[in-house]
Amino acid sequence: MVYEDLFARLNQAGYKNWIKAGFCLKNVKDGLCGYADREMQCFHSTVTRNNSVLRDQRCRSSCRPRGNQFEFACPLCNEWKKEILKHHTKPSGIINWGNCRPWLWPTEHWELAKAFMPRGLADLSRADQCDAAALLNLLHFCDHFSFINPSVITEVIRCRNELTHSCEMQVSNEWMARFQKNLEKLLLTLRHIPEVRAAGQQIQEV
């Protein structure tokens, strides 16, 4: 009986679409990972180069946020905080300071990147440890990527949320077509990146 139910489940069109969409998200993550990592290295270098207060300085206080609150910081970490808010596309919104280990901002570019991502990433230290949602939020909330149409990223994030929150783990053919179209728009913007182009080709074959 169990095997019959499983067989029936595996042959449901909506469930197949759900699996395919998850596969597409995995390809998006793989395509964006190296690109985001390299770009955040450049972003980190640019921020440091353009702000003399940050050059060759280290936090001596091991400053730590409390959840999303980061009010008590040493002068150096406070300056980094100002830079993050300066480059955040929604500085008046919720900033997930709890993702970050501020004392590492001067040396670790990915600690800086995590300030632009959803909560729950405090223990991650590399781009390849992040999922598609984290990388998409980075592209959306860091103005280093402002050349990408934000509405395109928003639509992909919305689709991702609908997919992961589907209680039946099913999506329709119409939803799948919309999702793939939104992915195509996003990846087309970054088609000059070999990994992104390869991810786009795999998604087209799904």
Q: Same structural domain for residues 123 and 46?
A: yes
**DSSP code string of 29-85:** HHHHHHHHHHHHHHHHHHHHHH-GGGTT---SS----BTTB-----HHHHHHHHHHH
Residue 54 burial (10 A CB sphere; 0-12, 13-18, 19+): middle
Contact between 120 and 94 (Cβ < 8 Å): no
| Confidence check: pLDDT of 6 > 80 | no
| Confidence check: pLDDT of 1 > 60 | no
Three-state secondary-structure class, residue 157: helix
Q: Kindly state the tokens that stand for 167.
A: 């209680």
Domain end: 145, 175, 196, which one? 145
Q: Same structural domain for residues 48 and 66?
A: yes
Q: Same structural domain for residues 47 and 106?
A: yes
Range of the domain at 189: 147-206
Asked if the structure places residue 26 within a domain, the reply is no
pLDDT at residue 187, as a whole number: 92
Q: How many domains does the chain have?
A: 2
pLDDT, tens only, 108-162: 999 999 999 999 999 999 999 999 999 999 999 999 999 999 999 999 999 999 9
Across residues 83-93, what is the average pLDDT? 93
pLDDT at residue 100, as a whole number: 94
pTM for this model (two decimals): 0.92
Residue 104 burial (10 A CB sphere; 0-12, 13-18, 19+): middle
Q: Same structural domain for residues 140 and 157?
A: no
Contact between 83 and 76 (Cβ < 8 Å): no
